[in-house]
Amino acid sequence: MTPLSIVVWFNRAFQAIGLSGCSSHSGRRTFITRAARLVHKAGGSLRDVQLLAGHRSIQTTQRYIDGDSDAQRRLVSLI
């Protein structure tokens, strides 16, 4: 399989089950976001998430992490 054929396969699969806005990277983004939110519970850091993602740069990993406005409000209330 080529990278393009994998992208096409995911697009067709998402369309077949009626999901819109999904891409071949959706699962990767979800994994990295969840790992970033939970890594402290495992005693790790964002660097560990970066290594699991296979990114050379921490900035690349950060671009995959989705924000959470509820978590931001809770954080501010703790401060």
Q: Is the pLDDT of residue 1 over 90?
A: no
User: 32: closest CA among 48, 16, 44?
Assistant: 48
pLDDT single digits (tens) 47-71: 999 999 999 999 999 999 988 899 8
DSSP states of the chain: --HHHHHHHHHHHHHHTT--S--TTHHHHHHHHHHHHHGGGGT--HHHHHHHHT-S-HHHHHHHPPP-HHHHHHHHHH-
pLDDT single digits (tens) 32-51: 999 999 999 999 999 999 99
Q: CA 23 to CA 37: how far, in whole Å? A: 22
Choose between 56 and 27: higher pLDDT: 56
